[in-house]
Amino acid sequence: MDNVSVLTFFILSGLNYTAQHRTILFVLTLLYYSLIWIVNVVLIVTIIVDRKLHEPMYIFLCNLCVNALYGTTGFYPKFLMDLLSTTHVISYTECFLQSFVIYSSAGGDLSILAVMAYDRYVALCKPLMYHSVMTRQRIFMLVALSWLLPLYCMFINTITIFQSKLCGSHIPKLYCANSLISRLACSTSIVNNSIVYFNIAFYCGHFILIIWSYMYLIRTCLKSKEGRSKFMQTCVPHLISLLNFGFAVLFDLMYSRFGSSTLSQSLQNFMAIEFLLIPPVMNPLIYGLNLTKIRKRILGFSRAKRKLLDKVDRSR
C-alpha cells in the first residue's frame, strides 16, 4: 500500500499517438493556444481601454475572458510538453495543481455566467432600478464571489484528496482530475465524497438559477418589440455561451462515465478536453461579433492601425 509521502509522480496515459502525429498535433495545438490568447486578450484590452465599456455586463465579460486564460494555462503548456516527450509523467504536486486550476476555472465559468444572467435579469426586467441595484460595490462583490467561491470549493476538494493514501499512479486522461486521483485512494473517504456532492449541488443551484432567470427574461421580453430587440442583442450571446459550457461539461461527465476501452482514444480525449477547446475561443468571438459596442471598438482599433501604417508607408 503506497503512502502519499512515497508517491512522487503520476502517469498520464491519455496520449498514445505516433511520433509523426504528435508533431502535427503539437503545431496545431500551439497555433490554437495562440488563438485562444489573441481573441481573449483583444477583448480584455478593448474593455479596459474604452471607458464606455466600463459597464457591469462588459466587466463580467472581461472576467470571463480572464478566467478562460487562467483555465487553459493549466492544460495547454503541459500538454504541449507531453507531445514532445515519450514519457507522460507529472509530479505529485503539479498534478494536484493542474486539476485545481482546470476545474476551479470551470466552476468560475459557471459562476460568472450566473452573475451575467443576474445582470441581464435586472437590466431587462427592472430597468428603472438597474443603476441603484448594480452599484460599484455590488459589482465588485459579485466579481469577487465568482472568483473566490470556485477557488474555495476546489481547494477544499483538493486538500481532502491530497491527504489520502494512494495505491496507484496511473491516470487514464490527458490531464489530472481530482475524480480520477480519488479513484486511486486505498480506501473510500466519506469526507471527500460529501464535499464532492456538496460542490455538485452548489453548481447545480447555479445552473437552475441561470435557467430560471432566462425563462423569466424570455417571458418578459417577448411582450414588446423593444424587449425582443434587447434580448436578441444582449442575451442571445449569454445563452450561446451557457449552452456551449453546458455541452462542454456534459462531454466531461460522459468521459468520466463512459471513458473506457469501448470508445476510441481520440473520442475519449475530445470528451475530456471539449470544455478547454471550444468555450475559450467561442465566448470572445460570440461577444465580439454580437455586442455592438465591442464590435465597433475593435473595428475602430483596426482602422486606426491601418491608417497609421498607411501614414508610415507614405512618409517613406
> What is the DSSP secondary-structure string of 188-256?
--HHHHHHHHHHHHHHHHHHHHHHHHHHHHHHHHTTSHHHHHHIIIIIHHHHHHHHHHHHHHHHHHHHH
The 89-91 sheet, strands edge to edge: 89-91, 9-12, 170-171
Sign of CA dihedral 228, 233, 236, 242: negative
- Stronger pLDDT, 254 or 252, i.e. the higher one: 252
- Per-residue pLDDT reduced to its tens digit, 58-81: 899 999 999 999 999 999 999 999
Length of the chain: 316
Average pLDDT in the 257-263 region? Answer: 58
What pLDDT was estimated at residue 155? 93
- Per-residue pLDDT reduced to its tens digit, 223-233: 777 767 766 76
Nearest to 188 by CA among 166, 171, 156, 169: 166
Q: What percent of the chain has pLDDT over 70?
A: 82
Domains of the chain listed by start with CATH number: 9-315 (1.20.1070.10)
Angle, in degrees to the nearest 10, between helices 19-49 and 56-73: 160
- Per-residue pLDDT reduced to its tens digit, 274-283: 888 888 998 8
171 sits in which H/E element: strand 170-171
Single-letter code of the amino acid located at 290: N
Full-model pTM: 0.85
- CA 289 vs. chain centroid, Å, equals 19
Question: Are 114 and 206 spatial neighbours (Cβ–Cβ below 8 Å)?
Answer: yes
Angle, in degrees to the nearest 10, between helices 279-290 and 56-73: 160
Angle, in degrees to the nearest 10, between helices 136-162 and 92-125: 150
Nearest to 114 by CA among 249, 234, 205: 205
How buried is 280 (Cβ within 10 angstroms: 0-12 exposed, 13-18 middle, 19+ buried)?
Answer: buried
- Per-residue pLDDT reduced to its tens digit, 237-248: 777 777 777 777
Dihedral angle, C-alpha 277, 279, 281, 287, nearest 10 °: 170
